[in-house]
Amino acid sequence: MAHLFEIYKDKAGEFRVRFKYNNEIMFSTEGYKSKASAQKAVESIKKNGPDAPVEDNS
pLDDT digits (tens, 9 = 90+) for 44-53: 999 998 889 9
- Kindly give, in sequence order, each residue whose CB lies less than 8 Å from that of residue 29, ignoring residues fewer than 6 positions away: 16, 17, 18, 38, 41
pLDDT band, residue 36 (cuts 50/70/90) = very high
Model pLDDT, residue 1: 67
Handedness of CA 25, 30, 33, 38 (dihedral sign): negative
Three-class SS of residue 48? Answer: helix
pTM for the full model?
0.83
CATH of domain 3-51: 3.30.160.160
How do the domains of the chain map onto residue ranges? 3-51
Q: How large is the average pLDDT for residues 29-58? A: 95
